[in-house]
Amino acid sequence: MEAESQSVLNPEISSPSNATFPIEAVRAAFPALTRPPGFMFFDNAAGAQVPQTVLDAVNHHLLECNVQRGGRYAKSREVDEMIVRARHSVADLVNARDASEIAFGMNATSFIRLVSLAIGETLDKRNEIVVTDMDHEANVATWLALERNGAKFSWWKMRDDGNLHADDLIPLVSSKTRLVACTLASNAIGSIVDVAAAAKVAHASGAEIFLDSVHYGPHGVIDVQAFDCDYLVCSGYKIFGPHMGFLWGRRELLEKLPTFREDFIPNEPPGKIEAGTFVYENVAGMDAALRYLETLGRSMAGNDATAKSESRRYALRRAFEAIRIYEESLSLEMLRVLNDCCAVVYGVAEKERISQRVPTLCFNLPNVHPARVTEELAKQNIGVRDGHMYSPRLMKRLGLPIKSGAVRASLVHYNTVQEVRRFGRVLAEMKESC
Ligand SMILES: Cc1ncc(COP(=O)(O)O)c(C=O)c1O
């Protein structure tokens, strides 16, 4: 796959305006959204719903070819072909140089640990690792576990404006730094990090950068070439697929990575990163989720000839560009209703900075316990979450008790402004006077 010249966070790809986002068609593709009695899915950061086509792909696998790969019979060959197809789809999603850079597995956390174990074995004089106080704990604790291997740690801290700044990384990185681990977007407060700038800083000192794209995955264009990162991890169940995870790594780094494998498994990616059997039906579902996104992108191309001729990567980019614009309108409406309820919003809350966040809003209502807010919303069939959002260090940083934390409403492209307004009305009944 070719490197793309445009900046990922500010691409020149022409996107339809928010008014043309096909929200009705999008919602119709997801059976769970229309099942009675009607439920508002505002907890997507913990896992998103899946289109019918994903269910069909999982069913097809289980009914028609639920066998081990690598056999000489047709059903087994079909599994081999599906895995190849899925690897290419994910490679297109992240703009990998080669499909062999994609590994499939259980989830993001186990992949981060797999890489951290390998890096722990190869620490030498470069034994310093930079972690952040904004990340999901999966991308922090997995690295801190390397203390027993002699690793030393520096903390890249979020600024009071609710984001990480690459300038603050500069003094933390030196010729002793082995790796910087950071997220593309905060799963707790929704801030989008300028990871390309962070990669520049890391590489200037010869360090590597490991990106957690789990939260960013459903919201924007992933481009490992434009980010110039070294590793990137994501979970399928956040981007409209089933429960599974995948890892991308630079081929030359994956080749060197010490991993566990049986002697008969070649020491080559992706096989050396995929010990044992992964869940094939979920990989089939992930492939279908990406086809759903590709189809969404093609449907927005404007004219049929363009839609047919553009590459899948381009169609995926088009889909995510449209999603990004549509989701900005959801973020703005969320900020408006939260402001009307006198909520304290953690993270980016200024209209002018709306492009620096995804529609994941973390907040508290004055004098109302977060658990009470989520319980009241649950009574109205609205699913949100309260607590520390697996980012306990961020909660501490925000001055929130880890046990109670905050309320998080996390939206994706199948949510609507009407849902946000209904959410606002339920909150308004709960708030005390401002
Ligand atoms: C930003 C982020 N990183 C990592 C994880 C862990 O992902 P997984 O459940 O696939 O291990 C999550 C899960 O919510 C997340 O939001």
C-alpha span between 421 and 288 (Å, rounded) = 32
| 49 pocket-lining for ligand 1 (C-beta < 6 Å) | no
> By three-state DSSP, how is residue 405 classified?
strand
DSSP state of 123: -
| 183 pocket-lining for ligand 1 (C-beta < 6 Å) | yes
C-alpha span between 157 and 140 (Å, rounded) = 13
* Token code pair at residue 76: 């087994």
Of 23, 40, 108, 89, which Cα lies nearest the Cα of 315? Answer: 89
Report CA(235)–ligand 1 centroid distance (Å): 7
- The length of the chain in residues reads 434
Low-confidence stretches of the chain (pLDDT beneath 50): 5-16
Give, for 61, the enclosing helix (H) or strand (E): helix 52-64
If you take atom 12 of ligand 1, which residue's CA is the nearest one?
214
pLDDT at residue 308, rounded to an integer: 77
| 109 pocket-lining for ligand 1 (C-beta < 6 Å) | yes
pLDDT at residue 45, rounded to an integer: 98
Ligand 1 probe mutation, 112, 186, 187, most atoms within 8 A of CB: 187
Report CA(184)–ligand 1 centroid distance (Å): 12
Whole-structure pTM value: 0.95
Give, for 357, the enclosing helix (H) or strand (E): none
C-alpha span between 192 and 163 (Å, rounded) = 7
Report CA(67)–ligand 1 centroid distance (Å): 29
